Amino acid sequence: MAAATRRRFALIAVALALVAALIWLAVDPSRRESAPLFRHGALRIGVDASYPPFAFLADDQLHGLDVDLGRALADELDIPAQFVLLGFDGLYDGLQTDQVDVLISALRIDPGRQVHYSLPYFDAGLALVSAAGRDFTTMAALSGHALAFEFGSEAHSEANRWLRRIQPFETRPYELPAYALDAVRLGHADAALVDAVSARLYLRDQPDWGAQMSVVRPVPLAIATRIDRLDRALAVNEALAALIEDGTVAALIDRWL
Amino acid sequence: MQRWLTVERRRQAAHVIARIYGIYADLRRWWPWYLRGLIFMLALDMLVPAAPRAPLGPPQTVETIKPHVCVHTRLIEEVEEWKIQRSLELTRALGAETIVEFFPWAYIETAEDRYDWTQADRIVSHARNQGIRIIARMGLVPAWARPDPAEALTTLNTLPPASYADFAAFVAEFAARYAGVIDHLIIWNEPNLAFEWGYQSVDPAGYVDLLRAVYDQVKVANPDAIILAGALAPTLEPPGSPHGLNDLIYLERMYQAGAADYFDALAVHTYGFTEPAAAESHPDLLNFRRAEQLYAVMQRFDDGDTPVYITETGWNDHPRWTMAVSPSQRIGHTIAAFRWAEVNWPWLEQMCLWVLRFPLPTLSYPDSFTLITTDFQLKPIYHAVQAYARGFPQTETLWLPPPAAASP
């Protein structure tokens, strides 16, 4: 090999080494240390226990969909689950200050947050509920018909937006989401716009009513992990994917909703 | 080595010259098309609607018959100026003469002694233009005043005692800048909650040290400044809890640590949760009239003449939260609360609802505290408060009766 070529290779090697060193220095020290995935020997789960049926306290015990999901996730990761109660305002700060490893607390994916979100595990969006066989599965189908919703709720605001976008429809505000759904079941309205959780709970209590439900404004819920722990986020995501795949998540949703 | 570099350099120079010539040749050949493309792009750009501007109009005044009606705003995170203006126009239309607004230290003094007042000035000028008075809430610690992140994980609420003087200096700068315009300053938010105290153990005596550090400096900067202390979260957490400390106990400990000399008014947070406005208060209960329990503590420490400002209150109408009520109950309770305060609480100066609107939704139940949606839809609660504050009749039926044979 000619001396000039050798020198060129040497220069390239030095440049590559420099780039590698810069990348290594740029990476956060906690990630360089190859910290264990869950260094406290448990999956520490931050949860706001004021939000049934996702998480709530009864007889000093934690219950709910998120609680069961947390336990299933810990089982899948083969470590014990440890729940840490936090208020909603303190959830993300609790994650940032390493008081918990993950947040499972009916969290909507929020692009403004500096965290990793998992795959969604439930859609808690607004749903149109109507009698089976009626064509009320989209906003456009409502023109000229009657829509029931809870007065002053998110569905009320959404209905107001729809009134500006499609041909007029009759609005029927009620005091409670259950009344709005009653109105459809009893023939006072063609469809009800309510949150998916209220809809599922109502339909569970009315098994004889042949109704259909269609989510028209999705609100995916997901698990959050710290932004500087990509390894943890990937492990959680993989475990959650396995739970979705084997039907565990669907069974938990059916149990609570 | 010298020769190789020379040859290489020559090659590079020739390559650059060839590229330049290529661009020149392209331009000569295709310039009419480049020109047409440029004109097309400019035409497209003109079709894009310009961002709404927010020029100050003639000075306005708030029309109200209930001057104690106040609302907490969140304008500091608002990117577009017209949204600040619109929010304040709607505050004026609501009949609220006063707002509480957050002015985070971390947003303004981003580096030590380097201040960016742009957003604060914008809020202040629009509020003045609408005839609205501001109570300023001070908090959030810039990175330069927090512990080294290599030593400890911190949050924006982590204020080490070593930085109390820096915080006091900032509040004094703020007080001097807006003297005569903003004279009411709330020192910190809910220091009786661990997460609001940077996930350190809550420390009433430490908070009094903070008040002491701030008080004299601010009075020098603006002798008319009113220092509001407390703004404690309503909670029943017992001593030793990792989450926080009962607000009544915390206030007692503040007085025991000598707080009375370092504040001019007490800021109170009191929420109705699931109870109506007139529900009896009790030290072991959290409801709207918990404000009376806090006032009783003030009286016990011979401080009953110090005014009280409720800087956060209200009800939440989220369908899932355990501490929420229905939207119709929320309206009834809120108006009843204003009436209760008007009749029964002579020591109260202002009663500020949490919260007018969020610039971005929280995507959870806190959104159900707002009076206006993020996209500026007025919720029925807004109209109800407006009718109360401005004396409008509200005879219209707002919701339908339950359908026949309805579920309970």
Which residues in chain A have Cβ-Cβ distances shorter than 8 Å to B321?
50-51
CATH code, B69-390: 3.20.20.80
Q: Tell me what pLDDT residue B323 has.
A: 96
The reply to whether A134 touches chain B by the CB within 8 Å rule is no
Q: Tell me what pLDDT residue A6 has.
A: 66
Could A88 and B366 be called an inter-chain contact, meaning their C-beta atoms sit closer than 8 Å?
yes
Which residues in chain B have Cβ-Cβ distances shorter than 8 Å to A188?
403
Distance CA A80, CA A64 (A): 18
Domain spans, chain A: 43-123+220-256, 126-217
Distance of alpha carbon B375 from the chain centroid: 18
The reply to whether A220 touches chain B by the CB within 8 Å rule is no
Mutation for A interface: B326, B354, B368, B385, most A CBs within 10 A: B326
Q: Which helix (H) or strand (E) holds A223?
A: strand A220-226
Could B243 and A85 be called an inter-chain contact, meaning their C-beta atoms sit closer than 8 Å?
yes
Could A152 and B155 be called an inter-chain contact, meaning their C-beta atoms sit closer than 8 Å?
no
Residue range A144-172, pLDDT digits in tens = 999 999 988 889 999 999 999 999 999 99
Structure tokens at B334: 């809120």
Tell me which DSSP letter residue B403 carries. P
Distance CA B360, CA B373 (A): 9
Going by C-alpha positions, the residue among B270, B273, B203 that lies closest to residue B240 is B203
Query: How far off is chain B from A78, nearest CA to CA, in Å?
Result: 28
Distance CA B145, CA B161 (A): 10
Question: Does A43-123+220-256 match A126-217 in CATH topology?
Answer: yes
Could B153 and A198 be called an inter-chain contact, meaning their C-beta atoms sit closer than 8 Å?
no
Query: How far off is chain B from A223, nearest CA to CA, in Å?
Result: 14
Could A156 and B327 be called an inter-chain contact, meaning their C-beta atoms sit closer than 8 Å?
yes
Query: How far off is chain B from A53, nearest CA to CA, in Å?
Result: 8
Could B400 and A173 be called an inter-chain contact, meaning their C-beta atoms sit closer than 8 Å?
yes
Domain spans, chain B: 69-390
Mutation for B interface: A47, A149, A176, A184, most B CBs within 10 A: A176
- Quick one: closest CA in A to B273, which residue? A50
Amino acid at B170: F
Distance CA B268, CA B312 (A): 7
- Per 3-state DSSP, chain A is made up of helix, strand and coil in percentages (nearest 5) of 40, 25, 30
Amino acid at B3: R
The reply to whether B328 touches chain A by the CB within 8 Å rule is yes
Q: Which residue has the higher pLDDT, A177 or B408?
A: A177
The pair phi, psi for residue B96, each rounded to 5°, is -105, 120
Whether residue A32 is predicted with pLDDT greater than 50 in this model: the reply is no
The answer for B 388-407 residues in CB contact with A (under 8 A) is: 398-400, 402-407
The pair phi, psi for residue A58, each rounded to 5°, is -145, 130
Selecting from A89, A151, A157 the residue whose C-beta is nearest the C-beta of B399 gives A151
Mutation for A interface: B273, B322, B333, B372, most A CBs within 10 A: B322
Distance CA B201, CA B206 (A): 10
Distance CA B265, CA A74 (A): 49
Whether residue A34 is predicted with pLDDT greater than 70 in this model: the reply is no
Structure tokens at B263: 């504040």
Query: How far off is chain B from A45, nearest CA to CA, in Å?
Result: 16
> Do residues A86 and A136 make contact, with C-beta atoms less than 8 angstroms apart?
no
Going by C-alpha positions, the residue among B64, B177, B82, B79 that lies closest to residue B131 is B64
The stretches of chain A forming alpha helices (DSSP H) are 3-26, 29-32, 65-77, 91-96, 154-163, 177-185, 196-205, 230-245, 248-256
Q: Which helix (H) or strand (E) holds B188?
A: none
Distance CA B299, CA A13 (A): 77
pLDDT band with cut points at 50, 70 and 90 for residue A14: low
What is the crossing angle of helices B290-300 and B247-256, to 10°? 20
Which position has the token pair 């509200």? B394
Amino acid at A231: D
Asked, as a colleague might, if the bond just before B355 is cis with ω within 30 of 0, I would say yes
Which residues in chain B have Cβ-Cβ distances shorter than 8 Å to A110?
362-363
Percentage of chain A with pLDDT > 70? Answer: 86
Which residues in chain B have Cβ-Cβ distances shorter than 8 Å to A54?
320
- Quick one: closest CA in B to A91, which residue? B195
The reply to whether A204 touches chain B by the CB within 8 Å rule is no
Selecting from A54, A106, A182 the residue whose C-beta is nearest the C-beta of B403 gives A182
Q: Which helix (H) or strand (E) holds A61?
A: strand A61-63
Domain topology for A43-123+220-256: D-Maltodextrin-Binding Protein; domain 2 (3.40.190)
Q: Tell me what pLDDT residue A243 has.
A: 98
Range A126-217 classified under CATH 3.40.50.300:
no
Distance CA A215, CA A201 (A): 15
Tell me which DSSP letter residue A37 carries. T
Residues across chain B:
408
Going by C-alpha positions, the residue among A40, A44, A65, A41 that lies closest to residue A55 is A65
> Do residues A55 and A66 make contact, with C-beta atoms less than 8 angstroms apart?
yes
- CB-defined contacts A:B, below 8 A: 128
The reply to whether B364 touches chain A by the CB within 8 Å rule is yes
pLDDT band with cut points at 50, 70 and 90 for residue A33: very low
> Do residues B379 and A152 make contact, with C-beta atoms less than 8 angstroms apart?
yes
- Other beta carbons within 10 angstroms of residue A35's beta carbon come to 13
Which residues in chain A have Cβ-Cβ distances shorter than 8 Å to B405?
182, 186
Q: Which long-range contacts (CB under 8 A, 24 or more apart) does A5-8 make?
A: A7/B1, A7/B4
> Do residues A54 and A257 make contact, with C-beta atoms less than 8 angstroms apart?
no
Q: How many CA atoms lie within 13 A of A124 on its CB side?
A: 24
**Per-residue confidence of chain B (408 residues) as pLDDT tens digits?**
455 567 777 888 888 888 888 888 888 888 888 888 999 999 888 887 777 789 999 999 999 999 999 999 999 999 999 999 999 999 999 999 999 999 999 999 999 999 999 999 999 999 999 999 999 999 999 999 999 888 888 899 999 999 999 999 999 999 999 999 999 999 999 999 999 999 889 999 999 999 999 999 999 999 999 999 999 999 999 999 999 999 999 999 999 999 999 999 999 999 999 999 999 999 999 999 999 999 999 999 999 999 999 999 999 999 889 999 999 999 999 999 999 999 999 999 999 999 999 999 888 899 999 999 998 989 999 999 999 999 998 777 788 999 986 554
The reply to whether B363 touches chain A by the CB within 8 Å rule is yes
Query: How far off is chain A from B152, nearest CA to CA, in Å?
Result: 8
Could B402 and A175 be called an inter-chain contact, meaning their C-beta atoms sit closer than 8 Å?
yes
> Do residues A175 and A191 make contact, with C-beta atoms less than 8 angstroms apart?
no
The reply to whether A156 touches chain B by the CB within 8 Å rule is yes
The reply to whether A87 touches chain B by the CB within 8 Å rule is yes
The reply to whether B373 touches chain A by the CB within 8 Å rule is yes
Residues across chain A:
257
Selecting from A56, A89, A198 the residue whose C-beta is nearest the C-beta of B319 gives A198
- Other beta carbons within 10 angstroms of residue A229's beta carbon come to 23
Q: Tell me what pLDDT residue B294 has.
A: 98
Could B380 and A156 be called an inter-chain contact, meaning their C-beta atoms sit closer than 8 Å?
yes
pLDDT band with cut points at 50, 70 and 90 for residue A39: confident
